[in-house]
Amino acid sequence: MYIVKRYSAVLLAFLAAFAMVAALISGHGWAQQKKFMADTHKDRGLDCSACHKETPPAKAVPSEVCKGCHDEEKLAMKSAEKFGRQNPHDNHLGAIPCESCHHAHKPSVDACAKCHQFGFRVP
């Protein structure tokens, strides 16, 4: 009897922990799907005109504008530390537009995934 009780307590604790983890994972996924890059910039006080030089905003934003704020070399170095040669910011595709991966108003994509499975999560 004692053993049965103890067993069910452990089982309950396990189930509770599992439910919490499941909730955390799904909550995280939801938040990621809803926030696009334009939103994360807005959260940092950067509105439409930080990226769009035309008023009102109408066109895609050239990579030159992104590079005005994001130093490509620093990006590449940081990515090299994390990914080694499988570097999203320095690789055999050469200078591809930021927009090949990063989208501002819709989910970003992994342009390497056409040919490789590096498992990048593009913000």
- The footprint of ligand HEC (CB under 6 A) covers 37-38, 40-41, 44, 46-48, 50-52, 57-61, 63, 65-70, 72, 75, 78-79, 82, 85-89, 91-93, 96, 98-106, 111-112, 114-116, 120-123
Which tokens sit at 53? 């030089």
Minimum Å gap between C-beta 10 and ligand HEC is 37
Closest CA to 37 of 82, 83, 70: 70
**Alpha-carbon span 38 to 105, nearest angstrom:** 6
Minimum Å gap between C-beta 25 and ligand HEC is 18
Q: Which is nearer to ligand HEC, 8 or 40 (CB)?
A: 40
Minimum Å gap between C-beta 13 and ligand HEC is 34
Which tokens sit at 15? 């189930």
**Alpha-carbon span 107 to 102, nearest angstrom:** 8
**Alpha-carbon span 67 to 89, nearest angstrom:** 12
**Alpha-carbon span 2 to 5, nearest angstrom:** 5
Minimum Å gap between C-beta 30 and ligand HEC is 15
Q: Which is nearer to ligand HEC, 11 or 119 (CB)?
A: 119
